Structure formats: C-alpha cells, structure tokens
C-alpha cells in the first residue's frame, strides 16, 4: 500500500481543501501584517506538533507581507491517544528564549474547548510579553463558549474529529495536505 494517495480511503469527507487553506493562510497573514505594520518584529509561538504545517506556511506568508518574523515552539500535553480533551495542560517543551517585551502571536492548529489556549495565554503573559494574540486555522463550535480572545480565525468547522494539515489521529495523518473527517471504520480498527 505504498501508493501516494493512500489516505483518501480513510477520509470520509474533506472539510477544508488545499486551495482553501492556501488562500486563507495568505489572507490571515495580510491581516496580521497590517495590524503589526509598525512593529519591529513578531514572535510566532507554534504549538507542537499539530501547528507545524500551519506555522510553516503562515511564517512564509508573513514573510511576503509583514514585519520580520522569529519562530519559537512549545509542546504541551493535549489529547494523547484518544479523541476527547483531557483538560490537563503540561509543558513538554518550553520556550528557548526570553519573550519579555516581544509581540507574540500564538499559532494554533485548532481551538476546541480552548483549555490549552487559555492556559497558554496566561503563561505567555506571565512571561511579560508586550502583547499576546492568537491565530488559529480552525475553530470548533465549543470554542465560542470560552473567553479566549482568538483574534485571527481561519475556518469555523463542525464539531467533528478532524485530521490532516498537522492534525493527527494516534500520530498518523499529519501529512495529509487537507483537513478531513476520518471514516468511523478507522477508529473501529484500533
């Protein structure tokens, strides 16, 4: 099964296609570039591993439109092997540099319960960043209940478990170039 498009059989339907992602990433970068036009630089903080694809594309898009960019990565615990939020946030990888006085933009793959993000915002503010905003490619309906100010949102999606473009199911499907819903039979196998 070494065929290039093996994942198509596991995906029930595409929620956000490749072209849509590309256009939206560019649109978000233009908005951010306009808002930070007078900033010396922005510090993008990507949340591993899910935000890796979005981070890479968003940073390059900002490179075309915006102020100079620096990148940091953090890893925090979230879903583990399952598909429901544990609510437990633990730092697995911390920032490498001091963010005091920096304009920070957290780059998130998806906001669901918002638990991860609200914790992360407080953490970054406690490290005395000059400003902290969030750009999230995807947002699920439950996120609106939480008071996390996500300034830049790519797509509002239905309340279903999605994979692709960095998002995994048991570490698989991150490389799928679009965002889609897995077939139920895939869960049944594991």
The footprint of ligand 5GP on residues 86-115 (CB under 6 A) is 108-115
- Min. distance of Cβ 87 from ligand 5GP in angstroms? 8
Mask: binding to ligand 5GP, 61-90, rule CB under 6 A, as x and -?
-----------------xx-----x-----
The footprint of ligand 5GP on residues 4-43 (CB under 6 A) is none
By CB under 6 A, the count of residues binding ligand 5GP is 20
Q: Measured between alpha carbons, how far apart are the two ends of the chain, in Å? A: 19
Q: Number of C-alpha atoms within 13 angstroms, CB side, residue 66?
A: 27
In sequence order, what are the residues at sequence separation of 6 or more whose Cβ sits closer than 8 angstroms to the Cβ of residue 144?
Answer: none
Q: Is 112 an active-site residue?
A: yes
- Alpha helices by DSSP H, listed for the chain, are 18-35, 52-65, 115-126, 184-189
Residues binding ligand 5GP (CB under 6 A) = 47, 50, 78-79, 85, 108-117, 161-163, 167-168
């Amino acid at each position: 099964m070494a065929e290039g498009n093996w994942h198509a059989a596991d995906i029930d339907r595409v929620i956000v296609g490749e072209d849509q992602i590309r256009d939206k990433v560019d649109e978000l970068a233009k908005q951010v570039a306009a808002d930070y036009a007078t900033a010396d630089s922005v510090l993008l903080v990507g949340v591993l591993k899910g935000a890796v694809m979005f981070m890479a594309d968003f940073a390059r898009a900002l490179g075309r439109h915006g102020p100079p960019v620096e990148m940091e990565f953090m890893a925090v615990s979230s879903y583990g092997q399952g598909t429901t939020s544990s609510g437990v946030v633990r730092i697995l990888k911390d920032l490498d540099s001091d963010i005091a006085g920096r304009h920070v933009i957290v780059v998130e793959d998806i906001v669901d319960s918002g638990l991860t993000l609200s914790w992360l915002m407080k953490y970054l503010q406690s490290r005395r960043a000059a400003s902290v905003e969030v750009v999230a490619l995807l947002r699920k309906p439950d996120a609106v209940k939480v008071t996390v100010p996500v300034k830049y949102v790519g797509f509002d999606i239905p309340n279903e478990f999605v994979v692709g473009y960095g998002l995994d199911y048991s570490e698989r499907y991150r490389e799928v170039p679009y965002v889609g819903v897995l077939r139920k039979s895939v869960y049944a196998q594991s």
